[in-house]
Chains A and B, each alone.
Chain A
Amino acid sequence: MPPISPSRRHLLASMIAASGGLALSPLLAAAPLAPLLTRPIPSTGEQLPVIGLGSWITFNVGRDPQGRRESVDVMRQFFAGGGRLVDSSPMYGSAQDVIGEAVQILKPARLFAADKVWVSGGARGVAQVEASRKLWRVPRFDLLQVHNLLSWEEHLPLLLAMKREGRLRYVGITTSEGRRHAEIEKIMASQPIDFVQISYNAVDRDVEQRILPLARERKIGVIVNRPFRQGDLMQALAGKPLPGWAADIGCTTWAQALLKFIVSYPAVTCAIPATSSIAHVRDNLLAGTGRMPDEALRKRIVQDVERLA
């Protein structure tokens, strides 16, 4: 298992630094005190917190000022809690622009900007990446992924060239809900990619068979999307009491237990739950702290979730 190490920044100290004028806010008062755990990116060893932030649906709020304010608050809480990786896509409507607004306001010191290229044809990919960068208001992306393998044969050489030229740090591919896994495997085995993004949770575990072991073997980082099956798992488990094992790993909510199940898999680098709720950000970040389930407990989590959900 790759080492999970505490973030060097203590969570409370980082929250104080990142929250600025919110020093006396209830958000800070409710902040977790444990440090956020990190995992190394296999290709470089750079440490990345195991909990990231997705933006599908939640940050697509258009020009709505209230929705934008709330999104900025969510990202403020995320960065204050030690989070780094924020993931988006040109497919997510206004999400990139909303993230860019938050980046401009919050100026997060350790943002790990992960975006995607999602367009047919390689030539259009260049323009799309530049348009996305401007929306994010960042000098460059840390990670660019080929979204759902769309035109990957054309986009991947472009992204790898950007990485060679120092205009990009990492390259990846994505899929979701178990689609095109055979093709994902083929690319993982043949291309020098740094990350693969897949769907994985206590119910959808197909990737445990081949993709996750292959990622480990090829030293490819794994980003996990749809950790709650786009909310369906949380809805199914709502009102169901947490089993006794939850306390053993410091979980007080199903969200924490489900996320701990995911990030405790050795090959997983980080999970990217999306939310528009500050309370949920905090809850998600707590899943990146404290004790993680061992193999025996992971099996029990699967059994209990399949029985209850």
Chain B
Amino acid sequence: MSEWWTYSLSDFLMFSSRSYYRLIESYNAAIWPAHLLALVAGLVVIVAIARLRQHLHRSAALVLAAAWGWVAWAYHLERYAEINTAAPYFAATFAVQALLLCWLAFKPGNAAPAPQPLALGLTGLAIFAYPLLALARDGGQWRQAEVFGIVPDPTVVATLGVLLAWRAPAIFWLVPVLWCLVSGATLMELKIGHAWLLPALALTAVVARVMGSKTPRDLNSTANPQS
């Protein structure tokens, strides 16, 4: 089609903010109390970042892989696809990221975890603060809270924290950063006040990662606190 340049973001938005948040609300109601399990999983990720232990980071990567896989199936494929025809494609990319995170967990020669307050901050924000955004939004309510491991946005932000702490290579960043742009654009078109947040967090994490790459460390060449 030769007229792609005439399309704007709004031409691709096919649902209202009301439908979007009601979908999250009904999804939350359907899977409750899985959120408690997700919270525990989130705490594992935070502890993994806070403590420089290789096996903890492996656990964190596996927890994240499970979260991405769950979001791909339970959210994108089973729910979001009801109102967004692009959701099956989102599910596929989330499934790919889940596999990448599995690989990251066991990949030899990983960069060593580094004490990163920013990484900890990102993941903490994703797990503890992100659900509160539902209350900050006009007309928002607890039942529409976005919880790590349940819906994409906080899951992606928590992943950015882990990737930053682990100084993961660029390939692991691709899907999370792309999602931040897609979701940020969607929220912007839905006129949601915090639409800027996700792209801003992605930018912050990428810049920190690029700056941090000047002093790479390697698990195989650095003293491992556990060994």
Interface residues of A (CB under 8 A from B): 56-58, 60-64, 66-67, 91-94, 177-180, 230, 276
Contact = CB atoms under 8 A, between A and B. Distances in A.
A150 B126 CA distance: 42
B85 A93 contact: yes
Interface of B: 3, 6, 10-11, 13-16, 18-19, 22-23, 26, 79, 82-85
A57 B3 contact: no
Given A67-B22, A179-B6, A180-B3, A62 B16 contact: no
Nearest to B11: A177
Nearest to A70: B18
A239 to B, nearest CB: 17
A271 to B, nearest CB: 20
Q: What secondary structure prevails in chain A residues at the interface with B?
A: loop
Given A179-B3, A180-B3, A230-B10, A63 B82 contact: yes
A5 to B, nearest CB: 36
Contacts of B16: 57-58, 60, 276
A66 B3 CA distance: 37
Contacts of A67: 18-19, 22
B19 A60 contact: yes
A142 B79 CA distance: 32
B82 A93 contact: yes
Given A60-B83, A63-B82, A67-B22, A92 B14 contact: yes
The 6 closest A-B pairs by CB, nearest first: A62-B82, A62-B83, A64-B22, A60-B15, A61-B19, A93-B83
- The CB with the most chain B CB atoms within 10 A, among A93, A180, A230, is that of A93
Nearest to B20: A62
16 contacts: A57-B14, A57-B16, A60-B14, A60-B15, A60-B83, A62-B22, A62-B82, A63-B26, A64-B23, A66-B22, A91-B14, A93-B15, A93-B83, A93-B84, A93-B85, A94-B83
B55 to A, nearest CB: 41
Nearest to A148: B1
Contacts of B26: 63-64
Contact of B23 (A62, A91, A92): A62
Contacts of A92: 14
B141 to A, nearest CB: 13
A276 B15 CA distance: 11
A64 B29 CA distance: 12
A299 B197 CA distance: 45
A57 B23 contact: no
Nearest to B16: A57
A68 to B, nearest CB: 11
A66 B29 CA distance: 14
Contacts of A62: 15, 19, 22-23, 79, 82-83
A124 to B, nearest CB: 15
Nearest to B19: A61
